[in-house]
């Protein structure tokens, strides 16, 4: 009996890369069973492989017969199907290669044609001072503060909004600056750790952290202090948290409330209990 020609060998003879035909099995199938189906002929009862928008190669379920089978008649399930020809296959391949070669050049032309479209002008206030910048549209507020304005007190920890080291206060609310684009803050009033106190005149929250030993390595401390100040404002504004029991009453300043609200600021040194004590002392000292 004559040896059957595998689909792989036949495809190589047509100068087509094997990985373009995603659904061809390694078993020996009769190549006459391979059909080319227009996109409109997509049907649920066919196993169809995508060919980048060009005619699709399919193996109809009823047509899967190994070479040597007694019944070699091919059942035509749809009038839209027609047999694969060498010319059709080569033309489809040539079109695919031409499109993949042209697309990158077109994309590059768009990118290099107008570089100004990749940047934007933005102006905001940081710690009471006005700043105007021209930034890449992808620049985060954290990178703008650190790299462009050199407010390096705000730290980059996880860069995923999970650790809270990058916390700053924007228009009175705390945010993770690593998750916010700088161009979103046109006209915003931003406060970083540099805007609270000074080495010779500490802010009450900074003094409380020192008093209660609310830090060790200090890397997370700028974010912890900014978040602590915002938490006190949230409680005074009666903004509830996940652990607030009664939404109709004034929120009590409790350790549970503070732990919940500060849970987004991670201290890998484990100074959590001392941080809570510092926040309570500052909050109770307020009128």
Model confidence over 131-166: pLDDT tens digits? 999 999 999 999 999 999 999 999 999 999 999 999
Tell me: do 104 and 133 sit in the same domain. Answer: no
Model confidence over 19-78: pLDDT tens digits? 444 444 444 444 444 444 444 443 333 343 433 444 444 444 444 444 454 554 444 444
Tokens of 110: 């768009």
CATH number at residue 130: 3.10.20.30
Kindly report the average pLDDT of the chain as a whole number. 77
Whether the per-residue pLDDT at 102 is higher than 50: the answer is: yes
pLDDT at 263: 96
> Total domain count for the chain?
3
Give me the mean pLDDT over the 205-231 stretch.
Answer: 96
Tell me: do 20 and 108 sit in the same domain. Answer: yes
Whether the per-residue pLDDT at 79 is higher than 70: the answer is: no
Tell me: do 67 and 118 sit in the same domain. Answer: no
Please, which pLDDT band fits residue 114 given cuts at 50, 70 and 90? low
Tell me: do 121 and 77 sit in the same domain. Answer: no
Residue 233 is assigned to a structural domain of this protein = yes
pLDDT at 92: 73
Please, which pLDDT band fits residue 115 given cuts at 50, 70 and 90? low
Residue 2 is assigned to a structural domain of this protein = no
Tell me: do 26 and 104 sit in the same domain. Answer: yes
Give me the mean pLDDT over the 1-23 stretch.
Answer: 46
Please, which pLDDT band fits residue 85 given cuts at 50, 70 and 90? low
Higher confidence at residue 55 or residue 95?
95
Domain membership of residue 32 as a residue range = 7-113
Tell me: do 19 and 88 sit in the same domain. Answer: yes
Please, which pLDDT band fits residue 3 given cuts at 50, 70 and 90? low
Higher confidence at residue 114 or residue 17?
114
């Amino acid at each position: 009996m004559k040896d059957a020609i595998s689909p792989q060998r036949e495809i190589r003879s047509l100068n087509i890369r094997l990985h373009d035909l995603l659904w061809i099995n390694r078993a020996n199938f009769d190549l006459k069973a391979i059909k080319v189906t227009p996109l409109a002929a997509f049907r649920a009862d066919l196993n169809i492989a995508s060919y980048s928008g060009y005619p699709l190669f399919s193996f109809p379920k009823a047509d899967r017969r190994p070479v040597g089978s007694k019944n070699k008649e091919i059942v035509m399930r749809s009038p839209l199907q027609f047999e694969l020809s060498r010319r059709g296959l080569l033309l489809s391949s040539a079109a695919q290669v031409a499109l993949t070669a042209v697309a990158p050049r077109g994309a590059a032309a768009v990118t290099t044609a107008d570089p100004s479209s990749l940047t934007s002008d933005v102006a905001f206030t940081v710690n009471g001072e006005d700043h105007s910048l021209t930034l890449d549209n992808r620049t985060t507020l954290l990178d703008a503060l650190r790299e462009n304005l050199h407010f390096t007190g705000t730290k980059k920890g996880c860069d995923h909004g999970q650790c809270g080291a990058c916390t700053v206060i924007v228009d009175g609310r705390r945010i993770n600056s690593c998750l916010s684009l700088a161009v979103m803050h046109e006209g915003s009033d931003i406060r970083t750790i540099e805007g609270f106190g000074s080495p010779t005149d500490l802010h009450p929250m900074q003094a409380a952290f020192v008093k209660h030993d609310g830090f060790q390595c200090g890397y997370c401390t700028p974010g912890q202090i900014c978040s602590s100040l915002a938490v006190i404002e949230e409680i005074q504004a009666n903004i509830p948290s996940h652990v607030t029991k009664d939404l109709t009453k004034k929120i009590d300043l409790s350790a549970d409330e503070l732990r919940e609200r500060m849970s987004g600021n991670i201290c890998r040194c484990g100074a959590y209990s001392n941080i809570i004590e510092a926040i309570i002392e500052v909050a109770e000292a307020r009128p």
